[in-house]
């Protein structure tokens, strides 16, 4: 089995499993005042310090959440509500956790400016600047650090700067970036940053919102007042401990891992192109996530490719949203100006910390016949459709 | 895999028989989340979930394939157009012809599969190199009628593992296999009309033309109506006629005339039909001259002994006993009686009756 879907989720690091497993058999609510509670609190605070150190934040800026979706929702809605302003600037290629939160705010009366991207899916600081200058009522700007589908990296430092110059909070979803590229919260200039455990070798169901100390954020969850009163809820000590261990390792190994993954990723693209010469690589060819290869196979349906590859032991993603499992063309590719038919014929291969050359070789071995077969199936569908039109 | 008990057991039997099986759920609704509400159709989110759980249990891959556009064009729009033309379509039959054993089958074959296996109740074998379709062992569930219009080429790539089993036993088998859908109720309604209100569905999708209710014998105008889509041949209730017929007998819809908007009504005897003329025949067993057979004119019931003959591409069926409610647009399937399950000889679309 060649697992080429690390951007969906990546295996937990054995050290994170060990740390989490040990914590699972320890009792203690981190909010309790007795000995067990203090022990739990200590584990949480050490984890917080570890994560802060790894990501260039202060410990008090680390808010533990239930994952990337919660962190995104908390940032988008919380910054909006706390600002008293009406307009949200968001890129059109955000993950649905941001996109749908912004759309929901729009239904509730917010004004939204969708920031256009170039054909690589990148938002420029100039675009953000122009949108900021067009309104004096901007509550927040949100653009992802790196795109989860096509892998393009945004100029977040420049975007943060133009936001800071105007005193507008800037949130960035760095779920795909942490561990893959250098991420330093303070140096980035962002006001809020989302990351999640299961993309960096940590557990599912735990994430972080880095929230700068001076940024006001209205909570989504009210209760016991944990996490600076911004995110109430009993702290999930084992997950937090596992997360901290995973973040530490992912960030420490980032530079060497990125070099390995870039080499492996380029080999993947080259080996696919050798058998499928008309394959299209989406996203920025250079300034992209090290493990991401997002490819369009003209004439194919992505879901056919995925099924055929799965049957041959290669796991990847169509990178598209699903409604009851029905594939829709990716909003990211459409925003980049890709034709819907080509968008449907796209696959995301993503490498991670357990990827090997054998995974890439396995893909290279099967991709030729798979594409050929998917093309035949695509043509069969088109023939039938023409016949129907004639009737 | 619709998410119902039949397709789940059919898949399980195919797996057990040693086939390399992939579960496919058809997404057919053009508006996910609207038509998909209610769990008795064939394309709700709950049904997709149930199908996926059944596939999980069997350990087979499972995918949702989106045929919503094809389904809308070839089944739903055809359904509306047929009603608008005063005929009574059978959308399940159309779906088998155009979606399950055309769109799905074509894609499956192109992707390297050999056959589409469904939970239909019918027996299928190969005799002298040709597919032979027979009624199911469960007479109450037999679906050979809605499969009879498939061509031999389509049937050659079909599998119906439930044909030899009665429904009650299928449910018992599902339970013993641990399938959670074992007790799920059967679907009855047309899947794209989940509330069962066909008239309302049609009224929103076709030009409705008010017309007259006319006594077929006297030519007298008995009332007015909102459009022919509100009626089907053989209908007795809800005609909106104020008083009874002079002779006190109930009146039935005899025919629909979409051009004039007239709906002709008359007595039960007038409804009885003995001659059927049907076009676009699909022949499974060559008919050499007139053949003795049993004719079936709708999905459930409506059978009579008959003599059928193929003349210049038209299937002419002479019924030995009259049948009521024979509606143009429906299929007539003819069978050769056989103790091991009546054999489908041919199917054609009813054009006219006499």
A104-145: pLDDT as tens digits = 999 999 999 999 999 999 999 999 999 999 999 999 999 999
Query: Which pLDDT score is estimated for A321?
Result: 55
Give the lowest-confidence range in A116-130, B160-174, B220-234, B284-298. Answer: B220-234
Q: Report, as an integer, the average pLDDT of A228-254.
A: 98
pLDDT reading at B159 higher than 60 = yes
Question: Among residues of chain B, what percentage have pLDDT more than 70?
Answer: 95
Length of chain B: 354
Q: Is the dihedral of CA B145, B150, B153, B155 positive or negative?
A: negative
Contact flag A324-B45 (C-beta cutoff 8 Å):
yes
CA distance A371 to A360: 16
Query: Which pLDDT score is estimated for B199?
Result: 87
Contact flag A325-B107 (C-beta cutoff 8 Å):
no
Report the candidate in A217, A221, A226 with the shortest Cα–Cα distance to residue A193. Answer: A217
pLDDT reading at A150 higher than 60 = yes
Measured at the CA of B274, the angle between CA B273 and CA B279, to 5 degrees, comes to 90
Query: Which pLDDT score is estimated for B36?
Result: 37
Q: How far is CA A134 from CA A129, A143, A164, A235, in A?
A: 9, 18, 16, 42
Can you read off the two tokens belonging to residue B299? 């999905």
Contact call for residues B330 and B88 (beta carbons, < 8 A): yes
**What would the pLDDT profile of B7-53 be if each residue is shown by its tens digit?**
999 999 999 999 999 999 998 876 554 433 333 344 567 888 899 99
**Segment holding A287, helix H or strand E:** none
SS3 B238: coil
Question: Among residues of chain A, what percentage have pLDDT more than 70?
Answer: 95
Contact flag B65-A303 (C-beta cutoff 8 Å):
yes
Chain A residues with CB under 8 Å of B70 CB are: 384-385, 388
Torsions phi, psi for B132 (to 5 deg): -120, 120
Query: Which pLDDT score is estimated for B38?
Result: 38
Chain B residues with CB under 8 Å of A303 CB are: 63, 65
pLDDT reading at B224 higher than 80 = yes
A259 touches chain B (CB under 8 A): no
Interface test with A, best of B49, B55, B63 (most A CBs within 10 A): B63
Chain B residues with CB under 8 Å of A311 CB are: 22, 61
In the stretch 107-146 of chain B, residues with CB closer than 8 A to chain A read 107, 109-112
**What would the pLDDT profile of B239-255 be if each residue is shown by its tens digit?**
877 666 677 788 889 98
CA distance A110 to A101: 11
Contact call for residues B66 and A326 (beta carbons, < 8 A): yes
Query: Which pLDDT score is estimated for B239?
Result: 82
Chain B residues with CB under 8 Å of A304 CB are: 107, 111
Contact flag A324-B66 (C-beta cutoff 8 Å):
no
CA distance A196 to A178: 9
Query: Which pLDDT score is estimated for B31?
Result: 59
Query: Which pLDDT score is estimated for B39?
Result: 38
Can you read off the two tokens belonging to residue B209? 């033309």
A303 touches chain B (CB under 8 A): yes
Q: How far is CA B33 from CA B28, B29, B56, B332, in A?
A: 12, 9, 24, 36
Can you read off the two tokens belonging to residue B33? 């989340």
pLDDT reading at A389 higher than 50 = no
Greater pLDDT, B69 or A23: A23
Report the candidate in A83, A46, A82 with the shortest Cα–Cα distance to residue A244. Answer: A46
Place of tokens 């394939």: B65
Report the candidate in B230, B213, B217, B332 with the shortest Cα–Cα distance to residue B270. Answer: B217
* Chain-centre distance for alpha carbon B242: 34
A38 touches chain B (CB under 8 A): no
Query: Which pLDDT score is estimated for A382?
Result: 60
What would you report as the CA-atom Rg of chain A, rounded to the nearest whole angstrom?
22
Place of tokens 């080499």: A263
Contact call for residues B107 and B101 (beta carbons, < 8 A): no
**Segment holding B109, helix H or strand E:** helix B104-110
Give the lowest-confidence range in B86-95, B189-198, B262-271, B283-292. Answer: B189-198
Distance from CA of B99 to the nearest CA of A (A): 11
Give B316's contacts (C-beta < 8 A, 6+ positions apart): B275, B276, B277, B278, B308, B309, B310
Query: Which pLDDT score is estimated for A339?
Result: 93
Interface test with A, best of B48, B64, B157 (most A CBs within 10 A): B64
A388: pLDDT confidence band, cut at 50, 70 and 90?
A: very low
Contact flag A373-B111 (C-beta cutoff 8 Å):
yes
**What would the pLDDT profile of A64-77 be if each residue is shown by its tens digit?**
999 999 999 999 99
Report the candidate in A333, A318, A230 with the shortest Cα–Cα distance to residue A283. Answer: A333
Can you read off the two tokens belonging to residue B330? 């429906």
pLDDT reading at A256 higher than 50 = yes
| Count of pairs with CB atoms under 8 A, one residue in A, one in B | 58
Report the candidate in B128, B118, B127 with the shortest Cα–Cα distance to residue B163. Answer: B118
**What would the pLDDT profile of B131-142 be if each residue is shown by its tens digit?**
999 999 999 999
Torsions phi, psi for A323 (to 5 deg): -120, 115
Torsions phi, psi for A276 (to 5 deg): -125, 85
Give B146's contacts (C-beta < 8 A, 6+ positions apart): B90, B92, B93, B96, B120, B299
B166: pLDDT confidence band, cut at 50, 70 and 90?
A: very high
Contact call for residues A357 and A342 (beta carbons, < 8 A): no
Can you read off the two tokens belonging to residue B137? 């062992």
Distance from CA of B72 to the nearest CA of A (A): 12
Give the lowest-confidence range in A218-227, A315-324, B299-308. Answer: A315-324
Contact flag B63-A307 (C-beta cutoff 8 Å):
yes
Domains of chain A in start order, with CATH, are: 2-6+254-390 (3.90.1150.10), 14-252 (3.40.640.10)
Query: Which pLDDT score is estimated for A207?
Result: 98
Can you read off the two tokens belonging to residue A203? 């557990």
pLDDT reading at A320 higher than 80 = no
Query: Which pLDDT score is estimated for B241?
Result: 76
Active site annotation includes A322: yes
Active site residues of B: 95, 191
Torsions phi, psi for B275 (to 5 deg): -120, 135
Strands (E), chain B: 23-27, 62-66, 116-117, 123-127, 130-134, 158-159, 211-215, 221-225, 252-257, 262-266, 273-283, 291-296, 303-311, 314-323, 331-336, 343-353
B70 touches chain A (CB under 8 A): yes
Can you read off the two tokens belonging to residue A314? 């290669």
* Adjacent-strand bridge partners of A92: none
Chain B residues with CB under 8 Å of A374 CB are: 111
Torsions phi, psi for A151 (to 5 deg): 85, 0
Can you read off the two tokens belonging to residue B179? 């399938």
Question: Among residues of chain B, what percentage have pLDDT more than 90?
Answer: 67
Ordered alpha helix ranges (H), chain A: 14-24, 35-55, 68-83, 96-107, 125-133, 156-165, 185-188, 237-252, 254-275, 302-311, 331-335, 340-344, 357-390
Domains of chain B in start order, with CATH, are: 5-119+161-183 (3.40.50.620), 208-269 (2.30.30.280), 271-353 (2.40.30.10)
Give A309's contacts (C-beta < 8 A, 6+ positions apart): A315, A316, A347, A363, A366, A367, A370
Can you read off the two tokens belonging to residue B257? 């005339």
């Amino acid at each position: 089995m060649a697992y080429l879907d690390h951007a969906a989720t990546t295996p937990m690091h054995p050290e994170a499993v060990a740390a989490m497993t040990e914590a699972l058999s320890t009792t203690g609510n981190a909010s309790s005042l007795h000995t067990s509670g203090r022990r739990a609190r200590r584990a949480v605070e050490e984890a917080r310090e570890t994560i802060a150190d790894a990501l260039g934040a202060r410990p008090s800026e680390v808010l533990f959440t239930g994952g990337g979706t919660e962190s995104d929702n908390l940032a988008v809605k919380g910054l909006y509500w706390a600002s008293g302003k009406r307009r949200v600037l968001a890129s059109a290629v955000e993950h649905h956790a941001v996109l749908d939160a912004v759309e929901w705010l729009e239904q509730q009366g917010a004004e939204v400016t969708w920031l256009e991207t170039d054909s690589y899916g990148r938002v420029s600081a100039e675009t953000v600047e122009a949108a900021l200058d067009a309104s004096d009522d901007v509550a927040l700007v949100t653009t992802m650090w790196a795109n989860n589908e096509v892998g393009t990296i945004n100029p977040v430092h420049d975007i943060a700067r133009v936001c800071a110059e105007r005193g507008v909070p800037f949130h960035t979803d760095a779920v795909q970036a942490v561990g893959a590229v250098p991420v330093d919260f303070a140096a980035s200039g962002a006001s809020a940053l989302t990351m999640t455990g299961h993309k960096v070798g940590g557990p599912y169901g735990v994430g972080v919102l880095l929230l700068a100390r001076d940024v006001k954020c209205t909570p989504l969850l009210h209760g016991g007042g944990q996490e600076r009163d911004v995110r109430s809820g009993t702290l999930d000590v084992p997950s937090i401990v596992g997360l901290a261990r995973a973040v530490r390792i992912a960030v420490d190994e980032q530079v060497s891992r990125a070099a390995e993954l870039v080499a492996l990723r380029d080999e993947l693209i080259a080996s696919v192109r050798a058998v499928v010469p008309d394959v299209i690589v989406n996203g920025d060819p250079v300034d992209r996530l090290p493990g991401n290869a997002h490819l369009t196979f003209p004439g194919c349906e992505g879901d056919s490719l995925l099924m055929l590859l799965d049957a041959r032991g290669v796991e990847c993603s169509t990178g598209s949203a699903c409604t009851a499992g029905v594939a829709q063309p990716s909003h990211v590719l459409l925003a980049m100006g890709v034709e819907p038919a080509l968008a449907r014929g796209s696959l995301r291969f993503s490498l991670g910390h357990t990827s090997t050359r054998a995974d890439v070789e396995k893909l290279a071995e099967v991709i030729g016949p798979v594409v050929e077969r998917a093309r035949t199936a695509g043509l069969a569908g088109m023939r039938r459709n023409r016949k129907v039109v004639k009737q | 895999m619709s998410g119902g008990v039949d397709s789940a057991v059919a898949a399980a039997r195919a797996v057990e028989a040693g086939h390399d099986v992939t579960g496919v759920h058809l997404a057919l609704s053009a508006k996910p989340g609207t038509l998909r509400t209610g769990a008795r159709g064939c394309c709700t989110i709950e049904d997709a979930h149930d199908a996926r759980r059944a596939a999980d249990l069997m350990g087979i891959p499972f995918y949702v394939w989106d045929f919503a556009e094809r389904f809308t064009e070839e089944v739903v729009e055809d359904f509306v157009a047929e009603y608008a033309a005063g005929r009574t379509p059978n959308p399940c039959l159309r779906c088998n012809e155009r979606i399950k054993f055309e769109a799905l089958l074509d894609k499956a074959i192109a992707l390297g599969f050999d056959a589409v296996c469904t939970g239909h109740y019918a027996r299928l074998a190969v005799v002298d190199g040709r597919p032979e379709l027979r009624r199911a062992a469960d007479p109450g569930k037999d679906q050979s009628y809605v499969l009879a219009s498939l061509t031999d080429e389509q049937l050659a790539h079909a599998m119906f593992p439930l044909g030899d089993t009665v429904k009650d036993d299928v449910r018992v088998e599902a339970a013993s296999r641990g399938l959670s859908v074992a007790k799920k109720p059967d679907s009855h309604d047309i899947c794209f009309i989940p509330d069962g209100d066909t008239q309302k569905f049609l009224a929103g999708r076709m030009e409705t033309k008010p017309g007259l209710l006319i006594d077929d014998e006297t030519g007298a105008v008995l009332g007015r109506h909102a459009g022919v889509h509100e009626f089907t041949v053989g209908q007795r209730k809800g005609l909106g006629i104020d008083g009874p017929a002079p002779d006190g007998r109930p009146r039935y819809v005899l025919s629909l005339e979409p051009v004039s908007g007239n709906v002709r009504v008359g007595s039960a005897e007038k409804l009885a039909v003995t001659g059927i003329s049907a076009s676009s025949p699909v022949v499974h067993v060559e008919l050499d001259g007139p053949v003795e057979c049993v004719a079936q004119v709708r999905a459930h019931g409506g059978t009579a002994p008959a003599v059928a003959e193929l003349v210049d591409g038209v299937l002419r069926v002479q019924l030995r006993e009259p049948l009521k409610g024979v509606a143009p647009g429906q299929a007539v399937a003819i069978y050769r009686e056989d103790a091991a399950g009546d054999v489908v000889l041919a199917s054609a679309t009813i054009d006219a009756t006499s």
